Amino acid sequence: MARSPANFVLLLMAAATWSFFLAAHAGRLQPSCIGRERDALLAFNQGISDDPYDYLKSWRQERQDCCQWAGVTCDNATGHVVKLDLGGTYLVGKISPSLLSLEHLEYLNLNWTRLCGPDGRVPEFLGSLKNLRHLDLSGMSFSALLPPKLSNLSKLEYLDLSNIHFNKRIVLTDISCANQSLAHLNLTTLHFLDLSYNFFGHPIASGWFWSIKYLDLTDIPPGLGNYTSLRYLSLSSNHLTRPIQLETVSRTTLEVLDLSDNNITGVIPPWLGNCTSLRHLSLSKNHLTGHVPSKISLLGNLTQLDLSNNNLDGVITEEHLVSLKNLEHLGLSHNSLLGHLPSEFGATGLVELTLSYNYFSGHIPESICMLWDLLVLDLSNNLLMGGLPRCSRKPNLAFLLLSHNKFSGKFPSSLKNYSSLAFIDL
Ligand SMILES: *[C@@H]1O[C@H](CO)[C@@H](O)[C@H](O)[C@H]1NC(C)=O
Ligand SMILES: *[C@@H]1O[C@H](CO)[C@@H](O)[C@H](O)[C@H]1NC(C)=O
Ligand SMILES: *[C@@H]1O[C@H](CO)[C@@H](O)[C@H](O)[C@H]1NC(C)=O
Ligand SMILES: *[C@@H]1O[C@H](CO)[C@@H](O)[C@H](O)[C@H]1NC(C)=O
Ligand SMILES: *[C@@H]1O[C@H](CO)[C@@H](O)[C@H](O)[C@H]1NC(C)=O
Ligand SMILES: *[C@@H]1O[C@H](CO)[C@@H](O)[C@H](O)[C@H]1NC(C)=O
Ligand SMILES: *[C@@H]1O[C@H](CO)[C@@H](O)[C@H](O)[C@H]1NC(C)=O
Ligand SMILES: *[C@@H]1O[C@H](CO)[C@@H](O)[C@H](O)[C@H]1NC(C)=O
Ligand SMILES: *[C@@H]1O[C@H](CO)[C@@H](O)[C@H](O)[C@H]1NC(C)=O
Ligand SMILES: *[C@@H]1O[C@H](CO)[C@@H](O)[C@H](O)[C@H]1NC(C)=O
């Protein structure tokens, strides 16, 4: 085909037009930021006194499209800033009230930064960001508890206040007026609340009437019965000492209950058996006494059960375990459990079985051979005797701990078949 210079020029023009069209089109797809919101972000940046990882280096006036700045997300259609994620950036400074110009902000994450409001407090104006759904202030340092104004965040679904380092002295005085702050919040849409590792104290718990699905705090609030949508409850690593009293907590919705690493006394309440949606139950590192209630067998959804490091006694029977078909991790170590090991495990998918530091006696049951997925078996520091059962199929065990028992005789020949062992302690 003949290629005249005219044709060639036409072709070039077409190509140029097309690429211009593409660029323009792409430009329309990109949300371009709104001037007022860019100014607000720049003002926020003014309040930053240290940015150790140079995280905000893209936050510059000359880079017009603030939707492209690190940590900033805009709505595709409107261009409004909807998300500000500065989590884990270790920024130091003041949280500028200029954020109030981000009226459409739905997500604010300042975790593990050293930002704070006036007087080192949680800035009250956060309560005016009325579209917020997600607020993460975990790992930050504040001199006082939450401003009551936060209760105006009526769309809040996720509130993470874990690991907040409150200035101790001020907390002590604030505790007395905790009823004015946390207690009076009415965040009916909240489904995640994490207040773990705070060591507040009791008064904070009184008078709560939130409708929440996830709760993580320091004491078990008396009003929990009203939290009909509670799904996640973690009170781990606080200073709880009183027996577990969650009589009326939404037993059918609770999926995760973590009360580990406290000093809780008393027994494991049988009503836990009514929490049939539980997937994770951890009561480890407490001072629980008495038997493991057989009602635990009703928790057919459990994948993790950790009762280790308590003062539990009595026996663990087939009755406890046979219905726990989904169990993957079972931890009962460091208790005073005794008797024979259960001859049957309901869950063939057990991955980790730690029964060490108890008074289990008798032989290791053959049913161990049925646990194909078992990777960790810790039976050390018991009164077990005999040896490892002969399994007709090769177990996949990687960690086997059998030391400090009453095993005797020759090095068990059955061990030959445990060919995937990475660690063994006899
Ligand atoms: C924005 O656009 C991106 C890419 O086209 C898309 O993945 C994302 O879901 C959109 N976000 C919203 C909030 O519409
Ligand atoms: C803090 O936020 C960052 C960014 O969203 C996230 O990746 C990180 O997991 C968060 N850190 C913690 C401890 O929650
Ligand atoms: C919530 O907002 C309303 C109106 O905007 C205001 O009157 C009220 O004082 C606010 N509540 C708190 C606790 O600040
Ligand atoms: C908070 O509790 C203290 C003492 O428990 C009481 O004096 C005060 O009136 C309470 N404040 C509110 C707002 O309920
Ligand atoms: C909590 O807020 C909801 C809706 O915002 C309201 O209907 C309800 O009366 C409030 N409850 C209390 C105890 O203030
Ligand atoms: C549950 O809420 C009702 C009103 O909403 C209140 O009267 C009652 O005291 C609450 N129960 C508990 C245990 O706090
Ligand atoms: C539990 O009590 C002991 C003293 O009996 C104390 O040393 C420890 O810090 C307490 N642990 C928690 C998590 O409160
Ligand atoms: C547990 O649920 C059963 C019915 O499923 C009920 O009869 C029983 O009272 C409940 N137990 C407790 C302690 O709530
Ligand atoms: C597991 O939980 C679901 C709800 O999440 C419930 O319907 C079901 O009965 C539970 N299964 C058992 C065995 O308890
Ligand atoms: C090892 O496994 C084979 C089958 O794979 C079985 O026949 C044999 O008895 C086993 N040996 C021991 C010592 O368990």
**How far is it, in rounded angstroms, from Cα 390 to Cα 196?**
46
Average pLDDT, the chain: 78
Residue appearing with tokens 């709760």: 215
Tell me if 412 CB under 6 Å of ligand 10.
no
Ligand nearest to the CA of 252: 9
Ligand nearest to the CA of 226: 6
Within a domain: 6:
no
Residue 414, domain extent:
265-426
Residue 224: φ, ψ to 5°: -55, -25
Per-residue tokens: 83: 């998300």
Is the pLDDT confidence value at 416 over 90?
Answer: no
Tell how far the Cα of 178 is from the centroid of ligand 4, in angstroms.
Answer: 8
**How far is it, in rounded angstroms, from Cα 415 to Cα 422?**
13
DSSP symbol at 293: P
Contact 336, 358 (CB under 8 A): yes
More confident residue, 315 or 15: 315
Within a domain: 300:
yes
Q: Which of 274, 280, 243 is nearest to 258 (CA)?
A: 280
Residue 315: φ, ψ to 5°: -105, 160
Atom of ligand 3 at shortest range from CA of 152:
1
Within a domain: 20:
no
Pairing of strands 256-258, 280-282: parallel
Q: What is the mean pLDDT of residues 91-98?
A: 94
Atom of ligand 7 at shortest range from CA of 262:
13
Within a domain: 357:
yes
Tens digit of each residue's pLDDT (9 = 90 or more) over 165-210: 654 333 322 322 243 334 334 444 444 555 554 444 333 333 232 3
Is the pLDDT confidence value at 153 over 80?
Answer: yes
Within a domain: 361:
yes
Atom of ligand 4 at shortest range from CA of 178:
1
Q: Cα 335–337–338 angle (5° rounding)?
A: 150
Q: Write down the pLDDT at residue 130.
A: 93
Q: What is the mean pLDDT of residues 371-381?
A: 93
| CATH code for position 347 | 3.80.10.10
**How far is it, in rounded angstroms, from Cα 101 to Cα 405?**
67
- Looking at this protein, which amino acid is placed at residue 116? C
Q: Cα 48–150–257 angle (5° rounding)?
A: 100
Atom of ligand 9 at shortest range from CA of 276:
14
Tell me if 271 CB under 6 Å of ligand 8.
yes
Within a domain: 67:
no
Q: Write down the pLDDT at residue 207.
A: 28
Query: Which residue has the least CA distance to atom 12 on ligand 6?
Result: 223
Within a domain: 123:
no
Number of domains, the chain: 1
Within a domain: 129:
no
- Candidates 242, 263, 287, 288: which one to mutate for ligand 7, based on the most atoms within 8 Å of Cβ? 263
Ligand nearest to the CA of 323: 9
